[in-house]
Amino acid sequence: MNNLTKKMLFDAETISGRVKELGRQISSRHPEGDLLLIGILKGCFMFMADLVRSLDVPCQIDFVRVSSYGSGTCSSGRLDIVMDSRIPVANKDVILVDDIVDSGLTLCEYRNVVAQRGPRSLETVALIDKTGRREKFVELDYCGFKIEHGFIVGYGLDCDEQYRGLGCLYVLE
């Protein structure tokens, strides 16, 4: 991965505009909702911080850590729940917040886990829907950007723990 160069995909202004739109969409769909946003770490941290500030409705937030990836760019094909949420979901409108959906395994499996806990409603939002390698169907209720292929870094997303702090989204090539 060392000799890859990063090419700008979406600049900070574009990301900010899109995240604000997502915030508006979520707020208008949940005007009186008892919202609980559960972010899937670590990739979601920057997206989550901007998304909650774009909401016009109050919400609770929590984070979980699940892992389906090794240190490379390919999914290992299984899900470990490394750190789970303890906030009760009964009577809550839960929205799972992910950075990027690739194979779909992470969001699909963790969504099933939360669904079994009986939230009032359960939705998903991803900053990026990467469609080209989907293995598990995941319904995304809200999505920032759609791409087909490419390994994306920046704005929370990493490659071997690098690049998370960048304010824009880049593709490694």
Residues serving a catalytic function are 102
Q: Select the binding partner of residue 169 from Mg ion, ligand IMP, none (C-beta < 5 to 8 A, by kind).
A: none
Q: How far is the CB of 106 from ligand IMP (least distance, A)?
A: 3
Residue 27 vs 68, nearer CB to ligand IMP: 68
Q: How far is the CB of 117 from ligand IMP (least distance, A)?
A: 20
Structural tokens at position 123? 């939705």
Q: How far is the CB of 119 from ligand IMP (least distance, A)?
A: 21
Q: In what order do the strands lie in the sheet with 93-101?
A: 75-83, 59-69, 35-41, 93-101, 121-130, 142-147
Q: Select the binding partner of residue 102 from ligand IMP, Mg ion, none (C-beta < 5 to 8 A, by kind).
A: ligand IMP
Residue 83 vs 120, nearer CB to Mg ion: 83
Residue type, 100: I
Residue 120 vs 136, nearer CB to ligand IMP: 136
Q: How far is the CB of 35 from ligand IMP (least distance, A)?
A: 21
DSSP letters spanning 42-105: TTTHHHHHHHHHT-SS-EEEEEEEEEEE-SSSSEEEEEEEEE---S--TT-EEEEEEEEESSSH
Residues near ligand IMP, by CB under 6 A: 40, 43, 68-69, 75, 98-106, 130, 151-153, 157
Question: Which residues face 159 on adjacent strands?
Answer: 162
Q: Select the binding partner of residue 152 from ligand IMP, Mg ion, none (C-beta < 5 to 8 A, by kind).
A: ligand IMP
The set of residues, in sequence order, having a beta carbon less than 8 Å from that of 156 and lying 6+ positions away, is: 42, 43, 44, 45, 46, 47, 99, 127, 164
The residue ranges that bind Mg ion (CB under 5 A) are 43
